[in-house]
Amino acid sequence: MAIHSLLQCRTWSKSDWLIASIGIVLMCFPFLSLSIRLQTLSPPLILKTEELFAWMEACLVITFIRGGGGCRTIESCSSRAMTRLGSSNFFEHEVPFQGVLSSDPSQNPDFFNWNRIMIRYCDGACFSGHPEAEFKLIWETIMDELLSMGMSHAKHAILTGCSAGGLATLIHCDYFRDHLPNDATVKCVSDGGYILNLPDVLGNPTMGSFFHDVVTLQRVDRSLDQNCVAKMEPSKCLFPQESLKNIRTPVFLVNTAYDYWQIQNGLVPDSPNLDERWAICRLNIQECDAAQMKVLHGFRSSLIDAIGEFHENKEGGMFINSCNSHCQIRESWHSPTSTRIENKTIAESVGDWYFNRKPVKLIDCPYPCNTSC
């Protein structure tokens, strides 16, 4: 059954600088390679529509995709229908626009007066699944709606997202670029979306198996780069180490080398076979012993090696810190307490890169060297 999803759009009014928000109702279908639909029907949710600034006048757009993991089985996808990741019945009525979405110039110096959109996550496959029947894809529907509102006139645009939204950003980066004016400056910022394809501490291909199941169940391969899919097992093309090789649009990576989501779900997933010390360490890096820290430093080294080719990309940028965190562009974007590398916040780094003020290829020293974390 269908679900009504919500786009939340905030814009800067030039008359009295009042921030407005508008909820846009979209039909959101679960894209599984099955003849049934798993999500529940829920009513449209429309937030306040106090004032909406004409997009074609502003021509500045940030589109942010929320994260929320993925689902690999019929059962796990079905269970999401009873949460905010599967039904607007469970959406929060208010979502704070923080960090990269903030309207406060002291918190968001380069982008505070841009049109800012948040896309709610609802399909469990980075908006990349394909249905067995011929339905219009969620992502295409969202883009059609935004373009009809005036985004087709954008002169400056950023596609960004966190976690699964960061992965979705990489998957849809070129599509986003290709549907905006040729003379527009369009770039993509992926936060916490650089997922590594590594065996876990027990030697199991946990993350690789998860991606394989999501791609197979929801036919995600049709959304991936077809040159890559032709060369290797399709789910490998979902991992950024492969997908970045085929993205034409400039990309900026925001990632921590000690990403707690990847540690807890990929490197050291919960398991009855897990050593008791790992069961403690995986949840709190400060409780890890020297041998465990050696493994976590190895995880960092694998990330640095994986992004080596991308590091040579002249149009690309990166902010790879050593914090034990996950999503950062909303939570640690730009404030006195924000994470810094070489005394630069993520916001300053992304701004320098987007506006071509200077190249940005920042890689932090190993944990726990960064006192700003």
Active-site residues: which are they? 163, 259, 326
Cβ contact 184:156 at 8 Å: yes
Which two tokens mark 154? 């954008």
DSSP structure class, residue 128: -
> What is residue 87's three-state secondary structure?
coil
> 149 to each of 57, 173, 187, 212, 218, how far by Cα in Å?
12, 20, 20, 36, 30
Per the document, the length of the chain is: 373
The residue to which tokens 């109702």 are assigned: 25
Candidates 183, 184, 205, 1; CA nearest to 86 is: 1
Candidates 71, 170, 86; CA nearest to 120 is: 86
Q: Beta strand 115-119 with 3-12: parallel, antiparallel or unpaired?
A: antiparallel
Whole-angstrom Cα Rg for the chain:
20
Q: What is the greatest pairwise CA distance in the chain?
A: 62
> What is residue 144's three-state secondary structure?
helix
Backbone angles phi, psi at 151, to 5 degrees: -65, -20
> Each residue of 175-192: b (16+ CB within 10 Å) or e?
ebbebbeeebbbbbbbbb
Which two tokens mark 343? 């005394």
Backbone angles phi, psi at 187, to 5 degrees: -140, 165
